[in-house]
Amino acid sequence: MTTFKRTNSGDIDFQNLVVLLDKDLAIRDGADHAFYNQFNKIDMIRNVIVYYAKDKPVGCGAFKQYDDTSVEIKRMYVLPEYRGQSVGLYIVNELEQWAKELHYTACVLETGKRQPEAIRLYQKAGYIQIENFGQYKNVENSVCMKKILPY
Protein backbone atom coordinates (compact mmCIF):
# COMPACT_ATOMS: atom_id res chain seq x y z
CA MET A 1 0.00 0.00 0.00
CA THR A 2 1.25 3.47 -0.85
CA THR A 3 0.38 6.66 0.96
CA PHE A 4 1.34 10.32 1.05
CA LYS A 5 1.93 12.36 4.15
CA ARG A 6 1.60 16.13 4.02
CA THR A 7 3.95 17.52 6.59
CA ASN A 8 6.71 20.10 7.06
CA SER A 9 10.49 20.13 7.20
CA GLY A 10 10.48 19.03 10.83
CA ASP A 11 9.41 15.53 9.76
CA ILE A 12 12.15 12.97 10.52
CA ASP A 13 11.37 10.81 7.47
CA PHE A 14 11.75 13.86 5.23
CA GLN A 15 14.99 14.85 6.94
CA ASN A 16 16.43 11.34 6.49
CA LEU A 17 15.54 11.29 2.79
CA VAL A 18 17.11 14.73 2.31
CA VAL A 19 20.38 13.45 3.80
CA LEU A 20 20.42 10.80 1.05
CA LEU A 21 19.49 13.40 -1.57
CA ASP A 22 22.34 15.66 -0.51
CA LYS A 23 24.83 12.77 -0.69
CA ASP A 24 23.67 11.99 -4.22
CA LEU A 25 23.84 15.64 -5.27
CA ALA A 26 27.32 16.07 -3.80
CA ILE A 27 28.51 13.34 -6.17
CA ARG A 28 26.62 14.67 -9.21
CA ASP A 29 27.39 18.35 -8.63
CA GLY A 30 31.04 17.85 -7.74
CA ALA A 31 32.77 21.18 -7.21
CA ASP A 32 29.48 23.04 -7.75
CA HIS A 33 27.78 21.38 -4.77
CA ALA A 34 28.53 24.14 -2.24
CA PHE A 35 26.92 26.72 -4.54
CA TYR A 36 23.68 24.74 -4.92
CA ASN A 37 23.61 23.55 -1.33
CA GLN A 38 23.27 27.10 0.01
CA PHE A 39 19.83 27.32 -1.66
CA ASN A 40 18.58 23.99 -0.37
CA LYS A 41 18.26 24.49 3.36
CA ILE A 42 15.22 22.68 4.71
CA ASP A 43 14.45 24.69 7.81
CA MET A 44 11.07 26.35 7.79
CA ILE A 45 9.58 24.52 4.79
CA ARG A 46 5.85 24.30 5.46
CA ASN A 47 4.82 22.17 2.48
CA VAL A 48 6.49 18.75 2.38
CA ILE A 49 5.28 15.46 0.93
CA VAL A 50 6.67 12.10 2.05
CA TYR A 51 5.69 9.10 -0.06
CA TYR A 52 5.43 5.72 1.65
CA ALA A 53 5.43 2.22 0.16
CA LYS A 54 4.32 -0.37 2.70
CA ASP A 55 4.97 2.10 5.53
CA LYS A 56 8.53 2.75 4.33
CA PRO A 57 9.43 6.34 3.39
CA VAL A 58 10.73 6.02 -0.17
CA GLY A 59 10.44 9.51 -1.63
CA CYS A 60 9.87 13.16 -0.88
CA GLY A 61 9.37 16.60 -2.30
CA ALA A 62 8.50 20.07 -1.09
CA PHE A 63 7.59 23.52 -2.23
CA LYS A 64 8.17 27.06 -1.07
CA GLN A 65 6.38 30.19 -2.18
CA TYR A 66 8.24 31.70 -5.13
CA ASP A 67 6.00 34.73 -5.72
CA ASP A 68 2.35 35.65 -5.18
CA THR A 69 1.09 33.14 -7.75
CA SER A 70 3.85 30.50 -7.93
CA VAL A 71 5.63 27.94 -5.80
CA GLU A 72 9.11 26.52 -6.28
CA ILE A 73 9.40 22.73 -6.17
CA LYS A 74 12.34 21.71 -3.97
CA ARG A 75 14.04 18.68 -2.43
CA MET A 76 12.68 15.98 -4.74
CA TYR A 77 14.15 12.55 -4.05
CA VAL A 78 13.25 8.89 -4.56
CA LEU A 79 15.26 5.98 -3.17
CA PRO A 80 17.21 4.32 -6.02
CA GLU A 81 15.38 0.98 -5.71
CA TYR A 82 12.02 2.75 -6.23
CA ARG A 83 13.01 4.75 -9.31
CA GLY A 84 11.39 3.92 -12.61
CA GLN A 85 8.07 3.19 -10.85
CA SER A 86 6.52 6.68 -11.27
CA VAL A 87 7.07 7.55 -7.59
CA GLY A 88 8.58 10.92 -8.56
CA LEU A 89 5.62 11.67 -10.79
CA TYR A 90 3.19 10.81 -7.99
CA ILE A 91 5.05 13.17 -5.65
CA VAL A 92 5.08 16.01 -8.19
CA ASN A 93 1.36 15.53 -8.84
CA GLU A 94 0.61 15.63 -5.10
CA LEU A 95 2.72 18.78 -4.65
CA GLU A 96 0.89 20.44 -7.54
CA GLN A 97 -2.49 19.48 -6.10
CA TRP A 98 -1.54 20.96 -2.73
CA ALA A 99 -0.30 24.16 -4.41
CA LYS A 100 -3.61 24.47 -6.27
CA GLU A 101 -5.53 24.03 -3.02
CA LEU A 102 -3.56 27.01 -1.70
CA HIS A 103 -4.57 29.00 -4.84
CA TYR A 104 -1.21 29.04 -6.60
CA THR A 105 -1.40 28.95 -10.39
CA ALA A 106 2.12 27.82 -11.37
CA CYS A 107 5.14 25.85 -10.24
CA VAL A 108 8.77 26.61 -11.06
CA LEU A 109 11.85 24.57 -10.30
CA GLU A 110 15.56 24.26 -10.87
CA THR A 111 17.37 21.05 -11.62
CA GLY A 112 20.73 20.33 -13.18
CA LYS A 113 22.04 19.08 -16.48
CA ARG A 114 23.76 16.32 -14.48
CA GLN A 115 20.32 15.01 -13.47
CA PRO A 116 18.83 13.92 -16.80
CA GLU A 117 16.31 11.61 -15.13
CA ALA A 118 14.93 14.59 -13.19
CA ILE A 119 14.62 16.61 -16.39
CA ARG A 120 12.72 13.71 -18.03
CA LEU A 121 10.43 13.41 -14.99
CA TYR A 122 9.51 17.08 -15.09
CA GLN A 123 8.98 17.01 -18.86
CA LYS A 124 6.70 13.99 -18.43
CA ALA A 125 4.78 15.99 -15.79
CA GLY A 126 4.25 18.84 -18.26
CA TYR A 127 7.02 21.26 -17.28
CA ILE A 128 8.72 23.35 -19.94
CA GLN A 129 12.20 24.80 -19.82
CA ILE A 130 12.33 28.53 -19.08
CA GLU A 131 15.08 31.10 -18.74
CA ASN A 132 17.12 30.51 -15.61
CA PHE A 133 15.76 32.58 -12.75
CA GLY A 134 17.08 34.19 -9.58
CA GLN A 135 20.36 32.81 -8.28
CA TYR A 136 20.52 30.36 -11.21
CA LYS A 137 20.47 33.13 -13.86
CA ASN A 138 24.00 32.63 -15.20
CA VAL A 139 24.66 29.09 -13.98
CA GLU A 140 25.62 26.86 -16.90
CA ASN A 141 24.58 23.58 -15.22
CA SER A 142 21.14 24.80 -14.11
CA VAL A 143 17.94 23.97 -15.94
CA CYS A 144 14.88 25.94 -14.84
CA MET A 145 11.37 24.80 -15.67
CA LYS A 146 7.77 25.93 -15.21
CA LYS A 147 4.28 24.53 -15.34
CA ILE A 148 1.00 26.41 -15.29
CA LEU A 149 -1.34 24.49 -13.00
CA PRO A 150 -4.56 23.49 -14.73
CA TYR A 151 -7.87 24.19 -13.02
How much is the pLDDT for 41? Answer: 55
Q: Are 89 and 123 in contact (CB under 8 A)?
A: no
Strands (E), 8-151: 47-53, 56-65, 70-78, 106-112, 128-130, 142-148
Q: For 75, phi and psi rounded to 5 degrees?
A: 55, 40
Q: How far apart are CA 88 and CA 21, in angstroms?
A: 13
How much is the pLDDT for 43? Answer: 62
- Domains of the chain, each with CATH number or no CATH: 2-148 (3.40.630.30)
Q: Who wins on pLDDT, 69 or 35?
A: 69
CA dihedral 92, 36, 116, 83 (to 10 degrees): -50
How much is the pLDDT for 31? Answer: 53
Q: How far apart are CA 65 and CA 7, in angstroms?
A: 16
Average pLDDT in the 100-113 region? Answer: 96
Q: For 134, phi and psi rounded to 5 degrees?
A: 50, -130
What are the tens digits of pLDDT across the range 25-67? Answer: 877 656 554 554 444 555 679 999 999 999 999 999 999 999 9
Q: What pTM value is reported for the model? A: 0.89
3-state SS, residue 78? strand
